[in-house]
Every structure is written in structure tokens, then in C-alpha cells.
Amino acid sequence: MSKLRDRLSKNVSKAIASRKISKKQLLLSVVSLILALLILVSATYCWYALAKGVGRADNYNLTAGNGLRVNDLGDTTQKFKDDSVLLPASSVDGRNLFFPTDGTDFSTETSKMTFRSANAGDRNYDYVQLDFNLTAEANYTSIYLDKSTSLKIEVPNDASAEYKAAAEKAEKALRMAIYYEGMNEPAVFTSQMNPNSVDAVKDIDRTTGRFLESSKQVAVPFKDYSYGKNQLAMLNQGETRPFSLIIWLEGTDANCTSANVMLKQLVLNLKFTTSWDNTVDIIFEDNTPEEAKVLEDGAVAGKKLSNILYDNGHYSLVLNYNNTAHKIYNMQFTMQKVNAKDYTKWKCSIPDNAYNDLSFMVIDETKTKGQDGYIVYEWTKTKNGGSTLNRGTATTYYAEILASSDSRGHWHDGDIEDHGEGHDSGIVDDDDW
């Protein structure tokens, strides 16, 4: 590979310096790569090598969503070297990249090739790696990719039809991985609208470079990690997590050919969005039985639950949310009074895609989660025993029965009041549940 690199270095131009970055919208550095590729092998696995190439830095666009901060990277991003190119590599998930080595042992079969592991000298030279930190400004900040996220090969307006067709095919060989330490599995992306699966190199003999094992690499569209689908991570207020972004050309992809990647410009637009970009207000209304009481500050009370909340300053009303598919367990949203002197109506904001496994609780703040007596009251059922864990599209909940072991109420969708009987009275039965 060193001989090939020496030949490449004579055919490159000076990289343009990266621009300064703001905290809310980071212009990290976008790599524009003009590639001229010489195909070495074309078969089931289309491995190729670069004959010459030019690296030019313009701008990567990285934007953080509501409730999320991204660090000012300053000098932590390496400038792309003057002779940066993307060489063919293979990786199952972006964490371990393997490059084919120089020599005469190239084959139409990956299993008969020799490889080397990527090292520090390859970073932003033979592949792209950007490291950044994300910090949550609010609790329960679920992180997703905005639907505008894209990884494209930019084509000049005056390009020929053949050029455009080649660029469209070449994009299929691009891969991008996002991961952080402790992530179950890195997310691997394709710029295409449908998943792309190949058998990528998983392991090699570190001494000889001999191929040892392959494994299925499944690259998914960016939309699969958009809001309401798979989340990248969930952070609490003040929590900072380091992320890495890797971009490479997958050598086992059959779309990697010299004709396909000739003279193309690579552009990435990466935008994060969060659960706090899409919220809905939930109202909890106290309709428990009346209980006469005079409040010194003139606060509105008189109902059983309202009086208890008024008398116990260490009690809080919370909305508890679970979503095991997104690894959210007992997420608690503290509810605030709608009016400072009214203990009958409370509200909180939650992600609007939180529909299921929702329960209201009065908790004792002098105790910690899991302790006996931590949950003083909890609402999970209607008067007639039906579940109220799933709100559907309703945003208002009426609490009607207060009991330490069996408090009850119901969701109300705002159209016809059913008083917790399980169906609406009247001509239209719109099912509040």
C-alpha cells in the first residue's frame, strides 16, 4: 500500500482549511473528494484501489436539536491531509476497518485476500472520522436523526447523463457509522432509501493479514433513526456523551467500480433532532370526591386529592412512562400546577409519540425509587377496571377515585365525556381509550 500511496501523493492538491464552528450549528468540515479509481478486481466482491485522488475540505454540516448541545470542536478535528483519499475498506459496524494490502494476492474472493487494520495514520486520510460530544439540556432527551440528514455525491449541473448515473450507483457503496462507547451496536447507514446488506470483513490474522471471518453488515436508511423510530441514545440533563462518526467506502459492495466513483464530490448533512422537538401537553384534572377544607392562602382545593397535595409539601404528582423498545424505563415527568393557586389541574410536556405505558403517580420525595411508600397513589385503571396505560391521542386525564391501593380515572379526548364507563353515551362512540 505504501507504493500506491507514493504514487497518489503526486496527484493531489492542498486542502482548504476548515471553518470556525458555532455551538448550535457546527460546520465541522465537509470532505469533497475527487476520485479517480482503478479497479483491480471485479467479481462477487468488487474490491478496487485508487489510481489518484484529490482531497478538498469544505463543510460538513452538523446541527443539534432542541434540548441538545454539541461541543465546539475547535482544533479537535484534524484537517484533512493534502493527499486525502478514500481507499476501499471493509467493516461490519465501522469500529474495526480493514484495508486490502499491496501485493499480488488480490482475488475475486474476499476470503483469499490479505488485509491490514486501520491505524491512526489512516484517519481523515483513507477514511473519515469525526469525534464530537453531545450534552443534554433536559432530562429524558432521546436523540434521533432529522429527516434532512443525507450523505450524497454531489454532481455538477452540467454533468452528462452517464456521469449522473455513475454517481447515483456509487452512492450505494458509501457507508456511515455512528456510535458511542457502551452502545449495544453501532448504527450503520446507507444513503439509499432501503437497507443494504453485504458480507463484510469481521476479523483478520493480525500477524499475517490473512482473512479469518466475515459477518453480515446491514446498513439502514437514515430515516430508520428518525423521530418516532429507533433512537440513537437517551441522555439526562447535564449528561455528556462522546460520539464518533465514521465514513468509508465498502469494498465488498458490488457498486464499487472505477466508472462509478470517477470525479465525484462527497457531501454530508448531519442533523440531530430530539424528543423535545416534538412535544404535547398532558393535563391531569382532579375530579375526586369533594372534601370541605378552607385553605389559608386562598388556593382552590376542596377535593380529596387536591387537599392531600396541598397539605404535603414533599408529595409530587408525576407522569410515569415506559417504552422498553426504546430502552426507557420509569421515566418520570414532574407535573406543575396550571394555576399557582389551583391544586385541581396539573400539566407536563411529554414527547408526542409517548402513547403507551403511561401512569400517574403521587410520590413521596423523602424516599427514593424502589422504597416502600415511595408511590403513595397510582392511576392505571378506569372505574370499571379497564386499563388507562394507553392514552391513544387523548391529552387529558380525569382522576376520579383516590385510594392508596387502587386509584382510578380515565383519559378524555375532549369530544364526548364518558365518565370512565368505557364508551361514550350518545350517537357517536369514539372510544376514549
pLDDT tens-digit readout, 298-351: 555 568 899 899 889 899 999 999 988 766 788 899 999 999 888 999 999 998
Tell whether the model's pLDDT for residue 274 goes beyond 60: yes
What's the length of the chain? 433
pLDDT, position 421? 46
pLDDT, position 379? 97
CA 166 to chain centre: 31
pLDDT, position 128? 85
Euclidean distance between CA atoms 9 and 2, whole angstroms: 10
Three-class SS state of 155: coil
Query: What does the pLDDT look like over 357-405, one tens digit per residue?
Result: 999 999 999 999 989 999 999 999 998 898 999 998 889 999 999 998 8
Tell whether the model's pLDDT for residue 209 goes beyond 60: yes
pLDDT, position 1? 44
At the top level of CATH, the class of 279-412 is: mainly beta
pTM of the model: 0.66
Q: Decide: 246 and 94 in contact? Cβ < 8 Å.
A: yes
All cell numbers assigned to 317: 404528582
Where do the domains of the chain lie?
A: 2-275, 279-412
**Cα angle for residues 396, 399, 403 (degrees, 5° grid):** 155
Q: Which helix (H) or strand (E) holds 161?
A: helix 161-170
Please give the span between the terminal C-alpha atoms of the chain, in angstroms, as a whole number.
Answer: 65
The average pLDDT across 78-104 equals 75
Tell whether the model's pLDDT for residue 130 goes beyond 90: no
The average pLDDT across 263-287 equals 84
pLDDT, position 295? 54
Query: What does the pLDDT look like over 143-191, one tens digit per residue?
Result: 999 888 988 877 888 888 888 887 888 788 899 999 998 888 899 999 9
The average pLDDT across 229-245 equals 89
Q: Answer with the residue of higher pLDDT: 55 or 83.
A: 83
